[in-house]
């Protein structure tokens, strides 16, 4: 199937050709015709499946077909997404696909001065991409109104839930027009997300592509069992491999990300961190440097990394295992995109083995263990000299029975 067969208008087709896109991904092939019909959509898809284009292309086409002539452009489509990085990238996608239309878009997010954003809003805009906090803030200040929204998109709904934005989303729903087309995207569908979708969508069509199992099947995955105190040394050892030109490294905390960067810099490995405590311009600079391979290692927390889209990224390293199995899939989904090669390496210490068990249950496969490395997990519970426990055999007679102090269990690969 080619994009031409989806009845896409010539200006958008021209932009797609200029971007080098000829064949739609599964979610694009299924979603675009549904959205062009004006139907609500419930999309279950992982990041990296092409879902931004799946809603951006038909939104551009629908708004182009129904032009409104007014002195000041009104916000006719609203896309709400959880992170600044993802909002910026969605804006870039609208710019790319809509360059030959006369539609305008702008992106608003927190963490930066609002004046440039309000200046753009004052000029008028057709499509607004926003994070929830800044959107509500500017709306409360009177800089924008949502009463003219025709198409509403809630992107990464499960991450909205993780980040505590669900209440903000519900506040937005109260001011959005009742009559509108709504598109709802989420990688997972926990009960609260299903309930939220039910409150937003009206007779939706459902599209579900790239289940977790097939997402991870195209990515080579390896586990290194290592003591927590040896993770730094193991990371430096791995990065001696010249084939790892760039790597996205995940930690669970902001402090952990900064610690890893500081350690890598001491070993003359160019690294930068990206997390919520970093100023927006610093985060954007770090991402730009990483994409340009000026920075070899980008160390990120899960929330900050949401929406990072780097072409030809081959290596993701989980310095710390995620304590949420679905997050592991999001992490490794930064690589292996569009059929490209991808390798995910995870460091697992003794306390993280329970997380690994949950991950393998979710993805329905065992991750290959690399035993041959310089920093194997030390046997923390060696078999000690057997204690003697007397067991009564018959009245008046006892005989010793050796019992290992830890039940005979040892730390091994698993």
Give the pLDDT confidence of 100-116 residue by residue, as tens digits: 999 999 999 998 999 99
Instruction: Report, as an integer, the average pLDDT of 70-77.
Output: 86
Is 81 found in the same domain as 116? yes
Is 223 found in the same domain as 201? no
385 within a domain of the structure (yes/no): no
Domain ends where: 193, 210, 227? 210
Strand partners, 400: 390
Percent of the chain residues past pLDDT 70, beyond the cut: 85
Q: How high is the pLDDT of residue 335?
A: 83
Q: Helix, strand, or coil here: 171?
A: helix
Is 224 found in the same domain as 160? no
Is 125 found in the same domain as 198? yes
Q: How high is the pLDDT of residue 160?
A: 87
Q: Give the residue among 124, 150, 160 at the shortest CA–CA distance from 306.
A: 160
Whether pLDDT at 94 is above 90: yes
Which strand ranges, in their side-by-side order, compose the sheet holding 297-300? 271-274, 297-300, 247-250, 315-318, 343-348, 220-225, 368-369
Q: What is the CATH number of the domain that holds 277?
A: 3.40.50.300
Is 246 found in the same domain as 147? no
265 within a domain of the structure (yes/no): yes
pTM confidence score? 0.61
Q: Where are any strands of DSSP class E within 45-179?
A: 77-80, 105-108, 127-130, 151-154
Whether pLDDT at 281 is above 60: yes
Domain ends where: 210, 232, 266? 210
411 within a domain of the structure (yes/no): no
Q: How high is the pLDDT of residue 397?
A: 40
Whether pLDDT at 381 is above 50: no
Q: Give the residue among 160, 197, 187 at the shortest CA–CA distance from 46.
A: 187
Is 349 found in the same domain as 227? yes
Whether pLDDT at 71 is above 80: no
Q: How high is the pLDDT of residue 414?
A: 47
58 within a domain of the structure (yes/no): yes
Taking only the tens place, the pLDDT of each residue in 164-181 is 888 999 999 999 999 999
Domain count, the chain: 2
Is 30 found in the same domain as 172? yes
In the predicted model, what is the mean pLDDT of the chain? 84
Higher-pLDDT residue of 389 and 57 is 57
Is 315 found in the same domain as 250? yes
Higher-pLDDT residue of 211 and 260 is 260
Q: How high is the pLDDT of residue 24?
A: 87
Q: CB-based contacts of 342: which residues, under 8 Å, 6+ apart? A: 218, 219, 220, 313, 314, 315, 316, 332, 335, 336
Higher-pLDDT residue of 149 and 163 is 149
Is 240 found in the same domain as 175? no
Higher-pLDDT residue of 399 and 325 is 325
Whether pLDDT at 399 is above 70: no
Instruction: Report, as an integer, the average pLDDT of 195-212.
Output: 86
376 within a domain of the structure (yes/no): no
Domain ends where: 369, 385, 406? 369
17 within a domain of the structure (yes/no): yes
Domain that holds residue 232: 216-369
pLDDT band at 84 (very low <50, low <70, confident <90, very high): confident
Is 70 found in the same domain as 9? yes
Give the DSSP letter of residue 124.
B
pLDDT band at 191 (very low <50, low <70, confident <90, very high): confident
Q: How high is the pLDDT of residue 379?
A: 57
> CA–CA separation, 397 vs 30, rounded Å?
78
384 within a domain of the structure (yes/no): no
60 within a domain of the structure (yes/no): yes
Is 179 found in the same domain as 246? no
Is 283 found in the same domain as 197? no
Q: How high is the pLDDT of residue 358?
A: 87
pLDDT band at 409 (very low <50, low <70, confident <90, very high): very low
Whether pLDDT at 207 is above 70: yes
Q: Helix, strand, or coil here: 301?
A: coil
């Amino acid at each position: 199937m080619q994009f031409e067969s989806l009845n896409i208008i010539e200006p958008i087709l021209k932009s797609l050709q200029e971007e080098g896109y000829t064949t739609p991904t599964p979610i694009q092939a299924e979603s675009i015709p549904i959205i062009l019909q004006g139907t609500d959509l419930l999309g279950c898809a992982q990041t990296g499946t092409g879902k931004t284009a799946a809603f951006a292309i038909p939104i551009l086409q629908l708004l182009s077909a129904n032009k409104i002539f007014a002195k000041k452009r009104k916000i006719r489509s609203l896309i709400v997404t959880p992170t600044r990085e993802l909002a910026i990238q969605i804006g870039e996608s609208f710019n790319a696909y809509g360059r030959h239309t006369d539609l305008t878009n702008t992106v608003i997010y927190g963490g930066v001065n609002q004046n440039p954003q309000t200046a753009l809003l004052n000029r008028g805009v057709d499509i607004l991409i926003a994070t929830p906090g800044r959107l509500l803030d500017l709306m409360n200040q009177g800089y924008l109104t949502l009463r003219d929204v025709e198409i509403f998109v809630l992107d990464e709904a499960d991450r909205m839930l993780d980040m505590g934005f669900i209440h903000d989303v519900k506040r937005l729903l109260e001011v959005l027009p009742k009559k509108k087309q709504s598109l709802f995207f989420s990688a997972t569908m926990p009960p609260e997300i299903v309930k939220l979708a039910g409150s937003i969508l009206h007779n939706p069509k459902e599209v579900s592509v790239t289940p977790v199992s097939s997402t991870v099947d195209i990515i080579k995955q390896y586990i290194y069992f290592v003591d927590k105190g040896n993770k730094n040394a193991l990371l430096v050892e791995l990065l001696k491999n010249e084939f790892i030109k760039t790597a996205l490294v995940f930690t669970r905390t902001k402090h952990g990300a900064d610690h890893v960067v500081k350690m890598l810099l001491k070993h003359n490995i160019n690294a930068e961190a990206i997390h919520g405590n970093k100023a927006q311009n610093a985060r954007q600079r770090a991402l730009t440097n990483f994409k340009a391979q000026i920075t070899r290692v980008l160390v990120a927390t899960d929330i900050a990394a949401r929406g990072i889209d780097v072409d030809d990224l081959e290596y993701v390293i989980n310095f710390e295992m995620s304590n949420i199995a679905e997050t592991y899939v999001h992490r490794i989904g930064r690589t292996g995109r569009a059929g490209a090669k991808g390798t995910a390496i995870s460091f697992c210490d003794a306390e993280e083995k329970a997380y690994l068990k949950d991950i393998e249950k979710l993805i329905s496969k065992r991750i290959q263990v690399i035993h041959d490395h310089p920093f194997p997990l030390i046997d923390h519970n060696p078999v000690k000299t057997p204690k003697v426990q007397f067991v009564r055999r018959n009245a008046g007679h006892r005989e010793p029975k050796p019992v290992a102090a830890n039940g005979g269990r040892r730390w091994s690969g698993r």
